[in-house]
């Protein structure tokens, strides 16, 4: 009987120790999402944006033939030309600038 009780107690301790900590708001701010993804008409280029919940994102441009990747800080809305030789994108203002401007409007 003692062996069974000891075994159950040991299993309970292991299960309690293995539980993951709860998520809070500080964890959510670190999550990132892929947005504005597109592939060129000839399939040689892929462009996508990685945006955090809070902060500045990046635009990544990937060449599928040479496997090279380039990035642009705060790049958004990529668009390839019809002949797929050029890409256009917008550069967003920094998160800090936008936040400061919003504070100025609310005052």
d(CA 92, CA 35): 14
Are 78 and 47 in contact, with CB atoms under 8 Å apart?
yes
Query: What is the structure's pLDDT at 17?
Result: 60
- Is residue 26 classed as helix, strand or coil in its secondary structure? helix
pTM of the model: 0.70
Query: What is the structure's pLDDT at 18?
Result: 57
Query: What is the structure's pLDDT at 68?
Result: 94
CB atoms within 10 A of CB 55: 13
Mean pLDDT, consecutive 10-residue stretches, the chain (107 aa), reads: 72 64 74 88 93 89 94 92 92 90 79
List the structure tokens of 60: 């990544």
Give me the residue spans of the domains in the chain: 31-106
């Amino acid at each position: 009987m003692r062996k069974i009780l000891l075994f159950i107690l040991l299993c309970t301790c292991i299960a309690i120790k293995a539980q993951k900590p709860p998520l809070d708001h500080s964890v959510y701010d670190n999550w990132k999402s892929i947005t504005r993804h597109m592939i060129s008409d000839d399939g040689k280029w892929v462009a996508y944006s990685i945006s955090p919940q809070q902060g500045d994102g990046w635009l990544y441009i990937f060449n599928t033939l040479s496997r090279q990747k380039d990035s642009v800080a705060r790049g958004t809305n990529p668009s390839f030309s019809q002949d797929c030789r050029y890409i256009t994108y917008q550069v967003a203002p920094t998160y800090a600038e936008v936040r400061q401007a919003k504070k100025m409007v609310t005052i």
